[in-house]
Amino acid sequence: MSSISIDLRSASTGELVDAIAQITHELAQRDAPDSPAACMHIAETLAAATDRQESALAALIGRVDASGEMRRWGLPSTQAWLRTRMGMRDTRARERATLARQRHRLPRVTELLASGELAYGYASTVADAVARLDDADCATAETLLLDMVGQGFSAGKVASFGRRIRDVIAERDGTDKPDAESRRGYERSWVTSTRSLDGGRYVKGWLNAEDAAVWDGTLAPLAKPAGTDDRRDLPERTAAALTAVLAGGHRATKITVICDLDTLTGGTAPGRLTDGTPIPAAHIRRIALSAGVSPLILGRGHVPLYLGQRARFATPGQRQVLETLYPTCAVQGCEVPGTLCEVDHVTGWALGSPTDIDRLALCCGWHNRFKHTNAEQMTIIRDTTGRHIYRVLPPPDTQPIDIHAPPPPTEPIEWAA
């Protein structure tokens, strides 16, 4: 038997959240009722309550996103915070971040979600649909989409219409065209290209895992910032990199496939790309027929032997070894692919660290700079495979936060279980 006593109106936000946490903990321990009809009713009630919690969560995420607080904790973006600290998949993290950022432009959606009159699925769908619209078009789209909800359309139908709203507005402005290939499957790579009225070209498509590796291996090195004064964002740099490739001004494409020697000689153990994508053994052998094969010699404990020298920059051979060790950035929880990371001197080049393979790691550009300017927040260990793992500590000036301000004495509302 446990009980909660809390005054709902005067309780702090932290106290309310604690009460919800205790109630949901208790609820999760219970078996579902024997009556299927009762289960349906309870499930629908619980889902509606969960939607209202999503409204509160969106407000909290929005405040963190606007303030940039996550960066003080070594997290480069709001989505990275949601993925690493809350365990969300990328799709859900992006969905929640979008809703949090669009709340101030969607007053009716925000009000209806908070009151329980609009399901979270509809709210996130509308937020995604208006993300690319200006404020005037956003207000119109909100009205149209909520009218569809009121008419009983499913969230999927509303999402389809929301995508059409973006296409119609883009077509009106001459910046986009509806894509007739959007319903194609994803088993094979495909690309469509449509010329716009001003002579430009809109490109849309899908690449499977192997073709995506070719894309990354070719364009990623060319799409890096040209220097500290390069103000282009990643889509602009990617477009420039693609143009350079089409014009022939690029280096040869390199794809690294990692496998055991036994796989090349007839074994069945699969290999992988540097980003962790599995490659069947038979496919690896086909690739090897027209590719160069480089041995990676490992010492005891699968630690790579020394390949480096006392030089400021890592050699291509060292980079290749590091990409086999680090599928992602060395910072725990960071998901930036190793192929897009920078080679980092673990103890710092300025502190005398040699450019030896056991003193190097792959670190994304954001965390590399964070490590340099916030050394007191970074702790580094080395695991049994020879990899260095960076862990970000809380900001040193973080003060304990009292989220339970004592409420004034009032008559409480009591639950008992």
- What pLDDT digit, counting tens, does each position of 131-183 carry? 878 888 898 889 989 998 998 888 888 888 887 776 666 666 655 544 444 44
- In one letter, which amino acid is 399? Q
Return the pLDDT at 359. Answer: 81
Return the pLDDT at 219. Answer: 84
Domain ranges (residues) in the chain: 31-172, 190-246, 256-293, 298-392
- Residue length of the chain: 417
Whether residue 305 is predicted with pLDDT greater than 60 in this model: the reply is no
Residues in contact with 277: Cβ distance below 8 Å, sequence separation at least 6, in sequence order: 209, 210, 213
How far apart CA 210 and CA 52 sit, in angstroms, is 42
Of the candidates 316, 309, 311, 258, the one whose C-alpha atom is nearest the C-alpha of residue 287 is 258
Angle (CA) 93 364 83, round 5°: 15
Higher pLDDT, 1 or 93: 93
Lowest mean pLDDT among 79-83, 90-94, 247-251, 273-277: 247-251
**Residue 302's pLDDT band (cuts 50, 70, 90):** low
Return the pLDDT at 221. Answer: 79
Each residue of 43-80: pLDDT tens digit? Answer: 999 998 999 999 999 999 999 999 989 988 988 889 88
Higher pLDDT, 390 or 282: 390
Residue 197, φ and ψ in degrees, nearest 5: -65, -25
How far apart CA 248 and CA 134 sit, in angstroms, is 38
Q: Write down the mean pLDDT value for the chain.
A: 79
How far apart CA 291 and CA 93 sit, in angstroms, is 39
Return the pLDDT at 168. Answer: 64
**pTM for the model:** 0.61
Contact at 8 Å (CB) between 74 and 129?
A: no
Q: Which two structure tokens, joined as six digits, stand for 129?
A: 């649909």
Q: Is the dihedral of CA 250, 255, 261, 266 positive or negative?
A: negative
How far apart CA 259 and CA 415 sit, in angstroms, is 59
Residues in contact with 158: Cβ distance below 8 Å, sequence separation at least 6, in sequence order: 122, 125, 126, 129, 145, 148, 149
Higher pLDDT, 336 or 96: 96
**Residue 400's pLDDT band (cuts 50, 70, 90):** low
Each residue of 5-15: pLDDT tens digit? Answer: 777 778 888 88
Average pLDDT of the segment spanning 266-291: 77
Q: Is the dihedral of CA 183, 186, 187, 193 positive or negative?
A: positive
- Residue 345: CB atoms within 10 A of its CB come to 20
**Residue 307's pLDDT band (cuts 50, 70, 90):** very low
Contact at 8 Å (CB) between 305 and 367?
A: no
